[in-house]
Amino acid sequence: MLDKPASALRIRERLLESERLMEETGCYDGITELHLRNQDPLKFETLHTKLRAYCVSAREMARRISASPGVREVGEMVVAIYTPEGDAIALSNGIMVHVHTMSRFIKWMIRNGYEENPRIRDGDIFANNDAFIGTVQVPDVMDVVPIFHSGKLVGWAGAVCHELEAGGITPGGDVALAQERFTEGLFVCAEKVGENDELRRDYVIRCERNLRMPIYWVLDEKAKVASCIDMRESVKGLIDEIGLDYWMQVSKEFIEEGRRAQLARTRQLTVPGIYRGHTFYGHVTKGKPGYQPLGDPDWLYNMPIEMEITSDGKIIMDFEGTQPWGYHSMNCTPAGMDGGMFVTLTQHMNFEGLVNDGAWMATELKLPAGTWTNPDNEMVATATSWALLLPAYGVFQRLLSRSFIARGFVEEAFVGQVNSPMIEMGGQSQYGTPFGMAHFECAAAGSGALAIKDGLDTAYVGWNPESDMGNIEIWEQNMPMLYIGRSIVPNSGGAGKYRGGCSFLSTWLVSKTDHLRLVTSEHSSRVFDNGGLCGGYPAPTCQKHRAVRDSNIFELAENGAPLAHHTGTNPYRSELEVRLEGEHVTLEGPYITAPHKTGDVFTHSYNGGGGYGDVLERDPVKTAWDVENGFLTKEAAEGIFGIVLDEDEEGFPVANIEATKRHRADMRAKRLARARPVSEWIAKERERVKAADFAPEVKKMYASAIKLSPRFTRDFSTFWDVDAKSTFGVE
């Protein structure tokens, strides 16, 4: 088809044609043969490598233009090159979740007649952060520019940054308090924000007047535009070399090859069949200031996932049975769900070969209408959709991992991602100016364990494979708080033969301000929002907030007395309570409260990952090392893992292998004595189910799932041998 000129169709018709061809042939854009690849595989691979290099270098350049520590320090950015129809051909590293959300944004403009009005012309810049058009949450602002060659639209270049401030009802980007779209902040809805490669002055003014900290957003816009122009010019140069017809064909073959590679990888690494798992999320806001009484304040979310791997290698994920959308900021759009799938696949399966939208095309998401995964109301807020997305895709990672274990690729099995509790802030900065910022050190949680080793400590998040917590000094430049501690939390990884990676906790002294608003989100209350695998336990992910108002810390410092640098390991009396005087606060759920001021102390803890395998098989020598380095306590080593530690002459822990064997034999015997047959437990538990003897939020969870899902109703009724509907009073 090399003689076929760049399509003369208008782009909207071209998009529909492309979709029709995919429908008819099962191959991307009707590409049933990879002619160019077969003709000259070396040229084919080299070209894709070049495109990827354009993306990586454009992103690195842009990071140096950006003013935001989110982009500069922790790399909250991704860029990609698209076909004219908006399918990703090549992408950079970074927050890859957005490669496919941007694809949705481009297609949305095409479908909505942007060719006629506002027109798509060379030099135009389009921006979007509307999740129903194509992003995850309001701070994920994307910019795309069309690529024209010889007067024809031949592709798009796009870039996304996660903004640290979005101008919502609470400061930061993950606007925790947003209960509807109208409180989420500044929306740019597939808007033409620039022409002739320049951002419009009126757009910049709108940003400057609607954000608490416009410098982040505005300079990030410039960084994104620069990276898009850079990629555009590189692609145009490449087309000059290889010819327009070759480009139009090869870009599609790249995607079709990506699709085929994903299917082949699934057949190579996994086992066909049905996989199931679930996790939960507790949303507790009762009595918190600022919440409007639009719905129930407290909610328990169940997130069941059924994954099918078909014999041709397609992965289908089904969220049937989960909860409805709500008046909170944790809803997610199909675009966000796509993004979560995409970033997980690129990390777990698509780690070689051509990483692009082809991988996404080899999968299918079933998102029941009306649930948080696919709200049937476009007024809902999605500012903290990660709160539910991360736990859900952690389940996906565990389901995939079971397939890797079954197939023998144990080195790829991974207990998965956990939630990223985020702290955001605003008010008066240490410089006496208004400010607002999301603190992104949450980009370094503990990872789930692997099937062959412990998880990564403070070094992984699902949404950005290039995890980084950023330097303390940089964060301190951007907020009126000083670090008095940043420490590993002992026992914060899920227990197991291989433990989950540990999390860390930061302790700050509020400094040089009398008005600091602190807000947190994405941490589950009352329930674990992660899990273990093959006998491993979930990590402890239902942490509360601890703070001290009007502390005597300056007095202590003056006297050279010890300060609190972390919360310690006593769950009933924290180090803050031991060391500091003042008004001690312990709060569950989102931290939404009156402003803080100089002299207050605040702590925030992140999440560790889930464990793998039976705790009684954990390596005693590694455990001694863990205790020595603060990842586990001696008490946990003995009490949970059955590992007896002695001390050497210098006081370092050493495993006592013989005593460990004896202790473990005893623990195993006690375990067996304590356990009872599952059938017995089911019989007894059934009485409780029949009586619906549960907390109100648990009952509400069941009623909501039953109302929305025939399958959940059927499964529940069958398992307990009850009528689920009448049990929970559902009509």
- Token code pair at residue 575: 């180090």
For the CB of residue 360, give the shortest distance to other proteins in the complex, in Å.
Answer: 21
How far apart CA 115 and CA 134 sit, in angstroms, is 18
Beta strand spans in 390-468 (E): 422-428, 434-439
Q: Which residues pair with 507 in a beta bridge?
A: 485, 603
Show contacts with other proteins in window 355-374 (CB under 8 A).
none
Residue 630 engages other proteins in binding (rule: CB under 8 A): no
Residue 497 engages other proteins in binding (rule: CB under 8 A): yes
How far apart CA 497 and CA 502 sit, in angstroms, is 15
CB nearer to other proteins: pick between 220 and 697: 697
CB nearer to other proteins: pick between 340 and 540: 540
How far apart CA 58 and CA 226 sit, in angstroms, is 8
Supply the DSSP symbol for 374: S
Backbone angles phi, psi at 516, to 5 degrees: -120, 115
Select from 187-195, 203-211, 219-227, 273-281 the region that touches other proteins (CB under 8 A): 273-281
Residue 585: how many CB atoms within 10 A of its CB?
17
CB nearer to other proteins: pick between 129 and 713: 713
Q: Cβ distance 279 to 677 under 8 Å?
A: no
Residue 532 engages other proteins in binding (rule: CB under 8 A): yes
Q: Which of 43, 276, 366, 725 binds other proteins (CB under 8 A)?
A: 276
Residue 375 engages other proteins in binding (rule: CB under 8 A): no
Show contacts with other proteins in window 282-321 (CB under 8 A).
282, 300, 302, 311
Q: Which of 39, 112, 150, 570 binds other proteins (CB under 8 A)?
A: 570
Q: Which of 114, 216, 435, 498 binds other proteins (CB under 8 A)?
A: 498
In this structure, the chain runs to a length of 731
Q: Which of 155, 172, 258, 531 binds other proteins (CB under 8 A)?
A: 531
- Determine the distance from the C-alpha atom of residue 232 to the mean position of all C-alpha atoms in its chain, rounded to a whole number: 29
Q: Is the dihedral of CA 689, 692, 697, 700 positive or negative?
A: positive
Residue 536 engages other proteins in binding (rule: CB under 8 A): yes
Q: Cβ distance 419 to 413 under 8 Å?
A: no
Select from 29-37, 355-363, 456-464, 538-546 the region that touches other proteins (CB under 8 A): 538-546
Cβ burial, residue 486 (10 Å; 0-12/13-18/19+): middle
How far are the Cα atoms of 415, 447, 534, 639 from residue 613, in angstroms, in the given order?
A: 10, 15, 5, 17
Select from 25-33, 127-135, 431-439, 665-673 the region that touches other proteins (CB under 8 A): 665-673
Q: Cβ distance 269 to 412 under 8 Å?
A: yes
Q: Which of 135, 323, 333, 491 binds other proteins (CB under 8 A)?
A: 491
SS3 526: coil
How far apart CA 447 and CA 462 sit, in angstroms, is 9
Q: Which is nearest to 217 in space by CA: 428, 438, 423, 516?
A: 438
Q: Which of 82, 247, 591, 716 binds other proteins (CB under 8 A)?
A: 716
Q: Which of 62, 138, 392, 615 binds other proteins (CB under 8 A)?
A: 615
Q: Cβ distance 479 to 429 under 8 Å?
A: yes
CB nearer to other proteins: pick between 134 and 282: 282
CB nearer to other proteins: pick between 407 and 549: 407
Select from 21-29, 120-128, 253-261, 632-640 the region that touches other proteins (CB under 8 A): 632-640
Residue 729: how many CB atoms within 10 A of its CB?
11
For the CB of residue 693, give the shortest distance to other proteins in the complex, in Å.
Answer: 8
CB nearer to other proteins: pick between 65 and 405: 405
Select from 15-23, 238-246, 271-279, 655-663 the region that touches other proteins (CB under 8 A): 271-279
For the CB of residue 534, give the shortest distance to other proteins in the complex, in Å.
Answer: 4
Q: Which is nearest to 214 in space by CA: 68, 72, 430?
A: 68
Q: Which is nearest to 138 in space by CA: 159, 158, 162?
A: 162
CB nearer to other proteins: pick between 56 and 269: 269
CB nearer to other proteins: pick between 8 and 672: 672
Q: Cβ distance 216 to 67 under 8 Å?
A: yes
Residue 106 engages other proteins in binding (rule: CB under 8 A): no
CB nearer to other proteins: pick between 385 and 503: 503
Q: Which of 23, 202, 352, 558 binds other proteins (CB under 8 A)?
A: 352
Geometric angle at alpha carbon 315, from 355 and 402, rounded to 5°: 100
Residue 635 engages other proteins in binding (rule: CB under 8 A): yes
Supply the DSSP symbol for 559: T
Q: Which is nearest to 39 in space by CA: 241, 243, 249?
A: 249
Select from 122-130, 274-282, 461-469, 550-558 the region that touches other proteins (CB under 8 A): 274-282
Residue 535 engages other proteins in binding (rule: CB under 8 A): yes
User: Amino acid identity of 589?
Assistant: G
Q: Which of 200, 453, 486, 725 binds other proteins (CB under 8 A)?
A: 453
For the CB of residue 341, give the shortest distance to other proteins in the complex, in Å.
Answer: 20
CB nearer to other proteins: pick between 80 and 345: 345
Per-residue contact flags (x/-) with other proteins for residues 399 to 428, judged by CB under 8 A: ---x--xxxxxxxx----------------
Residue 543 engages other proteins in binding (rule: CB under 8 A): yes
Q: Tell me the longest C-alpha to C-alpha distance in the chain.
A: 83
Q: Which is nearest to 502 in space by CA: 419, 421, 608, 394?
A: 608
For the CB of residue 621, give the shortest distance to other proteins in the complex, in Å.
Answer: 12
Residue 489: how many CB atoms within 10 A of its CB?
26
Residue 565 engages other proteins in binding (rule: CB under 8 A): no
Residue 614 engages other proteins in binding (rule: CB under 8 A): yes
Applying CB under 8 A, the site for other proteins has a residue count of: 93
Q: Which of 355, 388, 640, 643 binds other proteins (CB under 8 A)?
A: 640
CB nearer to other proteins: pick between 43 and 526: 526
Residue 2: how many CB atoms within 10 A of its CB?
12
